[in-house]
Structure 1
Amino acid sequence: MSLKIAVLTVSDTRDEDTDTSGNLLVESLIAAGHELVEKKITTDDIYKVRAIASQWIASTEVEVILITGGTGFSGRDSTPEAMLPLFDKQIEGFGELFRQISYNDIGTSTIQSRAVGGLANHTAVFCIPGSTNACRTAWDGIIKQQLDARHKPCNFVKLITVHRDLVAADCETRG
């Protein structure tokens, strides 16, 4: 089942030529059979990030938003602050699992990741650190499976607007 996905890169320095993280996410989602609705780059500003994400959340054309960048601790990193107020429900386990998986690659530095996820208006949103390796870790280790309707016992496809009528059942038990 193909999902409609938007990608936002949050960076004060990257442009289309140097956006390796955003481009990796685009390549990965297309390889998984999903559709890229739109890709944008914006500076690390709470209100710019929130404005773009809000438009996508309100759109019936976007089912998933992948945001890369702005999740660290530097003064300009503001993606979690931009997005948390927009979530109807936070996906607590996303950040926790991302840090757990990342520990194998970067050790205790993973505690400086403020990766977050949530649902907003039946749109799944994943906020990922800006490094290409972090995007690969998040996509391959978590997001790819959760955006696959065949993944059991649970996936986010069942909660996304366009498909919720088709697969409205709750998660299966682990048996």
Structure 2
Amino acid sequence: MAEAKQRAFKPLGIAVLTVSDSRDEASDKSGRLLAERLQQAGHELRDKQIVPDDIYRIRAIVSQWCVTDTIQVILLTGGTGVTGRDGTPEAVRVLLDKEIDGFGEMFRQISYAQIGTSTLQSRAIAGVANGHYIFSLPGSAGACATAWDDLISAQLDYRTRPCNLVELMPRLLEK
């Protein structure tokens, strides 16, 4: 059997949105962690913002990024819990053309090994909107590290075999 040819890494433009009423740049551990990890992986941080827990403000920023050609991936952190102010899934879900159900399922499975039944409080979701991948993660730095390290980073690496999300990008807008 012939050995598979190694593929070259393809850097992606990624934006990070922290959803929080209480964080600022100095205290945004989760957003900073995601920005550092994606850059360490070789991707390009195209934008990073913090927005209050307000579904319309979240949608406005994500919608703008979804029409920006230099951004291919959007990472959100925060607002995925069950309290009255947690509305990130509701803000994002209506923008999605397709939901990637397996992301939330796998995230909670991996998290269960770390935090037990507390993982049922997570409403982490992912999907595709206008050819952009969107990942909505919990607000804790630990959850962001788990999501990036155990799921997202490999799927955003074109070299991952047998398949990855990057190789699907040219076909995301097909009708």
Query: TM-score, length-normalised on structure 2?
Result: 0.91
Residues 82-93 of structure 1: matches in 2 within 5 Å?
82-93=91-102
Q: Which runs of 5+ in 2 are unaligned?
A: 1-9
**What secondary structure sits across from 1:58 in the alignment?**
coil
Task: Provide the C-alpha distance between the structure 2 equivalents of 1:39 and 1:49, rounded to a whole number of angstroms.
Answer: 13
2:64 is matched with: 55
Task: Provide the C-alpha distance between the structure 1 equivalents of 2:39 and 2:160, rounded to a whole number of angstroms.
Answer: 18
Q: Which amino acid aligns with 2:55?
A: I
Question: Size of the alignment, in residue pairs?
Answer: 162
Residues 85-104 of structure 1: matches in 2 within 5 Å?
85-104=94-113
Q: Does 2:65 align with 1:65?
A: no
After TM superposition, give the deviation of residue 105 of structure 1 in Å.
Answer: 0.9
After TM superposition, give the deviation of residue 131 of structure 1 in Å.
Answer: 0.1
Q: Which amino acid aligns with 2:115?
A: I
Task: Map Cα deviations across residues 122-146 of structure 1 (whole Å, 9 max, x no partner).
Answer: 1000000000000000000100000
Task: Map Cα deviations across residues 75-105 of structure 1 (whole Å, 9 max, x no partner).
Answer: 0000000000100100000000000000011
Task: Provide the C-alpha distance between the structure 1 equivalents of 2:71 and 2:97, rounded to a whole number of angstroms.
Answer: 16
Taking only the aligned residue pairs, the percentage that are identical comes to 60
Query: TM-score, length-normalised on structure 1?
Result: 0.91
**What secondary structure sits across from 2:151 in the alignment?**
helix
1:5 is matched with: 14
Residues 7-46 of structure 1: matches in 2 within 5 Å?
7-46=16-55
**What secondary structure sits across from 1:117 in the alignment?**
strand
2:126 is matched with: 117
Q: Which amino acid aligns with 2:52?
A: T
Over aligned residues, Cα RMSD in angstroms? 0.8
Which one of 132, 147, 158 corresponds to residue 141 of structure 2? Answer: 132
Task: Provide the C-alpha distance between the structure 2 equivalents of 1:98 and 1:81, rounded to a whole number of angstroms.
Answer: 18
Task: Provide the C-alpha distance between the structure 1 equivalents of 2:162 and 2:60, rounded to a whole number of angstroms.
Answer: 34
2:168 is matched with: 159
Residues 133-148 of structure 1: matches in 2 within 5 Å?
133-148=142-157
After TM superposition, give the deviation of residue 159 of structure 1 in Å.
Answer: 2.8
Q: Which amino acid aligns with 1:42?
A: V
**What secondary structure sits across from 1:75 in the alignment?**
coil
Query: Does structure 2 retain, via aligned residues, the 8 Å contact 1:122–1:159?
Result: no
Structure 1 ranges of 4+ moved more than 3 A: none
Task: Provide the C-alpha distance between the structure 2 equivalents of 1:97 and 1:53, rounded to a whole number of angstroms.
Answer: 24
Q: Which runs of 5+ in 1 are unaligned?
A: 166-175
